[in-house]
Amino acid sequence: MSSAEITARMREDWNARAREDAGYYVAFGQRDQDDAGFFATAIDVLRALETELRRIPPSQCAQGKALEIGCGPGRLMRPMSRYFREIHGVDVSDEMIALAREKLRDVPNAFPRVSSGAGLEELADDSFDFVYSYAVFQHIPSREVVYQYMREIRRVLKMGGLARLQFNGLMPETIPQSAYNTWAGARFSAAEILEFTKANDFQVYVLEGVATQYMSTTWHKQPGGWQERQRRWYPAEPAKIRRITNASSTEPLAPGAGPFASISILAENLPDEVGLHHFGVAVGGSFGTVTSIGALDPTGFQEVKVLLPEGTPAGLIPLELRWLDRRLCAPATLRVIPAGPLVPRIESITDGVNLISKNRIENRLVKITLEEIARPDEIRAFVDGLRALELAYFCVDPRRRRYEVNFRLPDSVGSGNCAIEVFIGKRKLAPVSVEVVASAY
């Protein structure tokens, strides 16, 4: 399809979703939420945006402008409006923009508008301090349209401006591009994101959730030629590693494999523009994967998060920070412990439609999230002893071995409490009691 045909389909489909239940399709949490419930679903996304805003001086935000790509009915624009002199939002759906104008009528510095759906042509060059997008690019059925948005973000950002973006990072090769649609859209690998940002003069501060549906990244617009200039950088004083802990706790150690094989490094005196390009953390004879370099805090420290190389041996392992193939500071020592066995477990059970309805099944569809699953092909599920129907699973996070399992309740299961049992081969997980209620849909 041509770009015009793709955007026409996007507008048609999202207008239909807006008319049916805009809040559900935007937040994908619950049907027919009131405004208070709908806006409350933004809490976790807002927290991540606010974390990245620490990289921008508050005075610059207060006098600056932000842009949301795919603003929908204004769920994020409302809370984000308090940080900026102006906040703008674009969306391909005129029905969504009509809702945004209504819901934001009491926010005088918020300006939602309809976009072409394939770019930001109506917005001026170098005009925004902060551009963000969440759960939007994953619904665009064309990789080229998403790439066009990425180029447009570079154009409309001021020099030194920041972008916080989310992409579907599930393995692109597992689904043909011909299967993309306006719900399950384009996918991108971490390598593709890094390649694009390097070629387009963006520094990358964050690239986390790799190989998951919610891969998040933070970019900083740099002037052309910045990478070559960085090669001539020389520190006024050497960097220092102040502390190393497990990224999931405050313990000064990490297992060499598994979901907790990640560390947090508290460092100081890092290069001013240090980012994922040209920066590395050597762990023994291999390099870890740096997922984020935090903003400089008031005490002068930055937090660096690193995934350890898979299978890092147990023991006291030397650790180095490297920048442009140079050692930044004296080596530190990381204590690595043997990885424990996988412990399959149920993380959550929700309704398959109303995802915030935990342990309560309202639409006869069940969604179970499992962790540390080595053999997903051995997953079986039963409801009050009856085999679950139409069971399907897929990996949502390969590092944590997290799988999402969906199935339909057996026809004979009625309203009331029932027990869901999950087996992984011969291993039976603890049963979970859920409530089944009649559905309105």
Q: In angstroms, what CA-CA distances link 137 with 181, 384, 386, 429?
A: 11, 40, 39, 36
Q: Which pLDDT score, from 0 to 100, does residue 439 have?
A: 63
Range 211-236 burial, b when 16+ CB lie within 10 A, else e: ebbbbbbbbbbbeeeeeeebeeeeee
CA angle 4, 168, 177 (to 5 degrees): 50
Which of 224, 253, 286 is where one domain is finished? 224
40, burial (CB in 10 Å: exposed 0-12, middle 13-18, buried 19+): middle
Tokens of 4: 């015009």
In whole angstroms, give the CA distance from residue 311 to residue 261: 9
What's the gap between Cα 59 and its chain centre? Answer: 27
Mean pLDDT of successive 10-residue segments in the chain (441 residues)? 90 96 88 88 95 95 97 97 98 97 97 94 97 97 96 98 97 81 95 97 97 96 82 77 95 93 96 91 96 94 96 95 91 95 95 91 96 96 97 93 96 95 96 86 46
In whole angstroms, give the CA distance from residue 277 to residue 212: 21
Which of 288, 310, 337 is where one domain is finished? 337
What is the domain-level CATH number for residue 104?
3.40.50.150
In whole angstroms, give the CA distance from residue 168 to residue 211: 8
Do 218 and 233 sit in the same domain of this protein?
A: no
β partners of residue 177: none
**Bridge-based pairing state of the strands 416-424 and 427-428:** antiparallel
Question: Strand (E) positions, 247-400?
Answer: 253-255, 262-268, 279-283, 286-287, 289-293, 301-307, 315-323, 326-327, 332-337, 345-351, 360-361, 365-371, 379-383, 386-387, 389-397
Contact 215, 228 (CB under 8 A): no
Whether 217 is covered by a domain: the verdict is: yes
Do 94 and 190 sit in the same domain of this protein?
A: yes
Q: Which pLDDT score, from 0 to 100, does residue 441 have?
A: 46
Whether 441 is covered by a domain: the verdict is: no
Do 293 and 426 sit in the same domain of this protein?
A: no
Contact 265, 241 (CB under 8 A): yes
Contact 112, 93 (CB under 8 A): no
In whole angstroms, give the CA distance from residue 241 to residue 302: 10
Tokens of 200: 């387009």
Q: Which pLDDT score, from 0 to 100, does residue 156 have?
A: 98
Q: Within 13 Å, how many C-alpha atoms sit on residue 57's CB side? A: 4
**Rg of the chain over CA atoms, in angstroms?**
23
Do 280 and 218 sit in the same domain of this protein?
A: no
Tokens of 336: 């690595």
Do 247 and 284 sit in the same domain of this protein?
A: yes
Which of 178, 204, 224 is where one domain is finished? 224
What is the reported pTM?
0.94
Do 173 and 322 sit in the same domain of this protein?
A: no
Tally of domains in the chain: 3
- 252 SS3 class: coil
Tokens of 271: 């290069």
Do 280 and 417 sit in the same domain of this protein?
A: no
Do 309 and 160 sit in the same domain of this protein?
A: no
Do 329 and 366 sit in the same domain of this protein?
A: no
Whether 72 is covered by a domain: the verdict is: yes
Q: In angstroms, what CA-CA distances link 236 with 269, 273, 300, 326?
A: 9, 14, 15, 15
Do 190 and 257 sit in the same domain of this protein?
A: no
Q: Which pLDDT score, from 0 to 100, does residue 33 have?
A: 87
Do 82 and 205 sit in the same domain of this protein?
A: yes
What is the domain-level CATH number for residue 239?
2.60.40.10
Q: Within 13 Å, how many C-alpha atoms sit on residue 239's CB side? A: 25
Do 187 and 69 sit in the same domain of this protein?
A: yes
Whether 237 is covered by a domain: the verdict is: yes
The H-assigned helical ranges of 121-172 are: 143-156
- What range defines the domain where residue 406 resides? 345-436
Tokens of 422: 């999950």
Q: Which residue has the tokens 């560390």?
A: 263
In whole angstroms, give the CA distance from residue 156 to residue 124: 6
Query: What distance, in Å, lies between the first and last C-alpha atoms of the chain?
Result: 34
